[in-house]
């Protein structure tokens, strides 16, 4: 028997779906991107994406408010649609709830989902609710649309393309480290002391916001469109920068060079990484939950993309034989590695 850990998350997905037939003429793109793409009408393509969040794996309710959890669950799906250069339009929400939750708890969760949908003009159009014996599970499916010919896949990157990313990286991961530390302190104290303990997050509010209330980057998609730039490949940064660069490289059949000195980092992220004795570049490369957009553009778009606010060029695409590499500040090259990929 083969252990799942040997394949990793993405290796398992590839193994299970490598021979899936696509017999429908309306299926343009199936498994292998942020969304499936289907033919629609009136010059539009239909985009479909789905994400599942499991209690104890993807979130910890000891420090995650239910309203924030709902908001984040919705944003994760909206981000996938924006990563295809599309516009999210509808949401289906499926919940599995254990007996320890009251109606008010579910209302709080749903209020977060509704807030995210209102912000992005998305309708909640259905779903399902079931009983769970093991905690809370959330599965959301998002429907979106994109103009035919304007969909951006992971597979379009070409050698010499510029590799760009929005926002900054690693902040959500450092927010998680802060929460986990305070949880450990809280749980290690006697019950009387724990109840009175109040963690002090002053000066770290941004890190917690990035963890608990991420924002899908519709603004970046709109700015690219306004500048007349259509990315050659795009993906959202949910599993860490290294993993997403590897996805683009594998889908496009190319290599990449990213430069450590070009990684966008917030000051609070750097301070927190030093406090935890962690390498801040490692946090940016492998942290995850950033929900920024990673994309490639032709070299000819260098000046135009440089003018877009909150977007940074972090490297470039190379021929596949040159590998997927990180260039350190002192010029050394290291192969990119990420969780969820097959182990050698």
User: 10-residue block means of pLDDT along the chain (344 residues)?
Assistant: 72 72 72 76 88 94 96 97 96 93 95 97 93 93 93 96 98 96 83 64 93 97 96 96 96 97 97 96 94 97 96 97 96 89 61
User: Coil, helix or strand for 254?
Assistant: strand
Query: What DSSP letter does each residue of 270-290 carry, written as one string?
Result: HHHHHHTT--HHHHHHH----
Distance CA 169, CA 299 (A): 23
Count of residues making up the chain: 344
Please return the burial class of 297, using the count of CB atoms within 10 Å of its CB with bins 0-12, 13-18 and 19+: buried
Task: Give the domains, in start order, of the chain with CATH numbers.
Answer: 4-147 (3.30.1330.10), 154-176+208-335 (3.90.650.10)
Asked if 66 and 108 count as a contact pair (C-beta separation under 8 A), the reply is yes
Total-model pTM? 0.91
Asked if 241 and 285 count as a contact pair (C-beta separation under 8 A), the reply is yes
Please return the burial class of 112, using the count of CB atoms within 10 Å of its CB with bins 0-12, 13-18 and 19+: buried
∠ at Cα 57 (108, 47), nearest 5°?
Answer: 70
pLDDT of residue 310: 96
Helix (H) or strand (E) holding 174: helix 171-188
Q: Whose CA is closest to 273, among 199, 204, 212, 211?
A: 204
Q: Whose CA is closest to 14, among 33, 32, 34?
A: 32
Q: Whose CA is closest to 240, among 287, 281, 273?
A: 287
Count CA atoms closer than 13 A to 7's CA, side-chain side.
12
Helix extents (H) in 213-321: 218-226, 241-252, 267-275, 280-286, 302-306
What backbone phi and psi angles, to 5 degrees, belong to 202?
A: -60, 135
Q: Whose CA is closest to 55, among 130, 138, 122, 120?
A: 138
In the 8-state DSSP scheme, what is residue 260?
A: G
Distance CA 79, CA 214 (A): 10
Q: Whose CA is closest to 269, among 204, 327, 313?
A: 204
């Amino acid at each position: 028997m083969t252990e799942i850990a040997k394949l990793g998350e993405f290796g398992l997905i590839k193994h299970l779906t490598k021979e899936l037939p696509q017999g429908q003429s309306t299926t343009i793109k199936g498994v292998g991107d942020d969304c499936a793409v289907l033919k629609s009408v009136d010059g539009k393509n239909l985009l479909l994406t789905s994400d599942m969040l499991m209690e104890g794996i993807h979130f910890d309710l000891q420090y995650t408010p239910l309203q924030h959890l709902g908001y984040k669950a919705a944003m994760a799906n909206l981000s996938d649609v924006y990563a295809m250069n599309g516009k999210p339009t509808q949401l289906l929400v499926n919940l599995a709830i254990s007996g320890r939750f009251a109606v008010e708890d579910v209302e709080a969760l749903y209020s977060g989902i509704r807030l995210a949908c209102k912000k992005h003009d998305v309708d909640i159009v259905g779903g399902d609710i079931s009983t769970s014996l093991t905690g809370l599970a959330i599965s959301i499916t998002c429907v979106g649309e994109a103009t035919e010919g304007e969909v951006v896949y992971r597979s379009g990157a070409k050698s010499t393309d510029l590799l760009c990313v929005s926002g900054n990286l690693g902040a959500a991961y450092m927010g998680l480290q802060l929460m986990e530390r305070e949880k450990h302190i809280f749980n290690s104290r006697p019950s009387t002391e724990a109840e009175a303990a109040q963690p002090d997050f002053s000066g770290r509010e941004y890190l917690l916001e990035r963890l608990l209330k991420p924002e899908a980057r519709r603004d970046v998609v709109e700015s690219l469109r306004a500048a007349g730039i259509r990315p050659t490949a795009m993906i959202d940064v949910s599993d860490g920068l290294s993993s997403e660069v590897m996805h683009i490289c594998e889908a496009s059949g190319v290599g990449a060079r990213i430069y450590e000195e070009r990684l966008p980092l917030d000051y609070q992220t750097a301070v927190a990484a030093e406090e935890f004795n962690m390498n801040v570049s490692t946090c940016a490369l492998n942290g995850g939950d950033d929900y920024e957009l990673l994309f490639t553009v032709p070299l000819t778009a260098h000046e135009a993309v440089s003018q877009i606010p909150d977007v940074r060029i972090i490297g470039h695409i190379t021929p596949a034989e040159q590998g997927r590499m990180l260039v350190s500040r002192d010029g050394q090259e290291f192969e990119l590695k990420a969780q969820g990929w097959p182990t050698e």
